Chains A and B, each alone.
Chain A
Amino acid sequence: MTDSGAGAVPSAVDMPRDSVLADTFVMLADTLVDDYDVVEFLQRLAGACVHLLGATAAGLLLADQRGGLAVVASSSEETRLLEVFQLQSNEGPCLDCVSSGAPVVCSDLDDEKQRWPRFVPVAADAGFRAVVAVPMRLRSEVVGGLNLFYATPQAGFVPDQRLAQALADVATIGILQQRASHRSLVLVEQLQQALNSRVTIEQAKGVLAERHSIDMDAAFASIRHYARNHNEKLTKVALAVVGGDLDPVSA
C-alpha cells in the first residue's frame, strides 16, 4: 500500500539520490523527538530502506531475548510478507545474520535451498529471489537485523552495504529511545517494550479487520493515519482500539 501521508519517504524516482538520502535522514531525525513511538519510527525506516536500497520489501526483526526473532516493522503489512519475515525466527538469512553478527548477502535464493530448506520455498512463493540481511548492533551485542528482499535475482549483486548498515544503526538508536544510558539493561527494557507494542498493534489490527471486514493492511493504515492526524503514539491508539474506546475507521 502506498503511503503518501505526512512523514512519507521522499520519492527516489524524481530526485537525485543524495537529496533523497538527506531527506530521509532528516525525516528519521525529525521522528526522534521526545516521546516518539518506536514502532512508527521503525516502520518509517523500513519504508526508507525500500526506497534507498532499491529493495522490493524491507523488514526489521528484533532478538526477542528468548532465542528467537520477532518482526517489529515492515515496509508493507501484507500478511504473507510478514510471514516470510517471521519464518526466520527458526531459519533463514536474517537469523544467520543475527547469530553471526555479520551481513548475509544472497543474490539468488534458488542456490540456497539446502541451506534454508523451509525458508527458500516460502520466500519464493511470496515472490522473492534475493535477500540481504545486515545486523543491528549495539556495541558487542546484536539486537536484531535489517532484512531486504528483492523480487529478481541480483546477478553480481553488490548492495550498498554501507548505507544498509547505516540504516540498521539508525534503527538501533531508535530503539534505545531517549534514555541515553550506558548500562546494558536499558536495551532489554526497550527491546521488550518495542516487541510488546508491536503485539498490541497486531491485536488492534485484528479487531478492526474483523469489525469492518477489511484486510490487515487497511486496518494498520487506519491506525497509523489516526495516530498521525491526532499526533498520538501508534501504541496508544492501538490500546484504545482494543479497549473499545476508539474506532479509527469510523472516526
Chain B
Amino acid sequence: MSGAGMTMATPAGNRGVVCATDARAGQIEDMQITTGLGPCVDAMESGAPVLVGDLDNAADSSGLDLSRWAAFVEGVRPAGVRAVFAFPLRIGSITVGALDLYRDEPGDLTGAQVTAALLAADAAALALLHLNTDSDDAFAPDLETGADYSLHIHQATGMVSVQLGVPVAEALLRLRARAFANGQTLSEIAAEVVARRIRFTAEDR
C-alpha cells in the first residue's frame, strides 16, 4: 500500500480528516470531503467497501462507473494514485467514517489484505465512536477487539438506546462501559439486556 487516510463523520453529518499517512493520502480525503463524492463517501453511505483496483480502467477492472467521481479521479490521478480501497467504518446504522487505502500500482487486494483491512476498519470504527460521542465517562478500554457479529449485542444496543433515550452509537458505548465496569464481556452484558434481566436507567448516563 502506498498510504492510508481516515475520515470521520459526526452524527450531524459533518466530515473531517482524522489522519493521513502522507500528503497524498490527505489530499484523497480532502478531495472527497470538498466535492462530497468519491469512494470513501460511497462506502460511508452504502455500508459496503468500495474497492477500485485501477482508477484508469475502472469500468473494465471493477465494473464500476467512476463518472460520478470524475472530479475526484482528476484530482488524485496526477499525484500518481492508481488504486483506491475505501472501507466504511460502520456498525449497522452507526456510521462513524471511512478508511481509505491507496496505491500507486494498479491491482486488486488479496484475501489476506482484505482481512487485514477489515480488522483495521473494525478497530478504527470503535476508536472513532469514542471520539464521536460527547460523553466524558463512556470510554471503556477494548476488552474485545474487532467486530462482533453476535446479533444480541446489536439488539441490546437498540434496547438500551430506548431505555436511556440516546442514539444507538451512545447506547453501544454505554454497554461497553458497563461490561468493562462489571468485568464482563460485551456479549455477556448484551445477553442480560436482551433477556430483560438488567435495564439501563438515567443513573447510567
Contacts and interface: CB of A to CB of B under 8 A. Distances in A.
Interface in B40-86: 46-51, 53, 61-63
B165 to A, nearest CB: 10
Q: Ordered nearest first, which 9 A-B pairs have the shortest CB separation?
A: A206-B158, A199-B92, A202-B154, A70-B149, A193-B48, A181-B63, A206-B155, A210-B159, A200-B92
Contacts of B163: 210
Interface of A: 64-68, 70-71, 79, 82-83, 86, 89, 179-186, 188-190, 192-193, 195-211, 216, 238-239, 242-243
A203 B108 contact: no
Interface of B: 46-51, 53, 61-63, 88, 90-94, 108-109, 111, 114-115, 118-119, 122, 146-147, 149-163, 168, 194
Contacts of B114: 65, 185, 188
Contacts of B147: 64, 66
B56 to A, nearest CB: 15
Contacts of A216: 155, 194
A204 B122 CA distance: 21
Contacts, number: 139
B109 A206 contact: no
A71 B149 CA distance: 8
Contacts of A89: 149-150
A209 B194 CA distance: 9
A184 B51 CA distance: 10
Contacts of A211: 162
Given A66-B122, A79-B194, A211-B162, A239 B93 contact: yes
Given A79-B152, A203-B93, A209-B159, A185 B88 contact: no
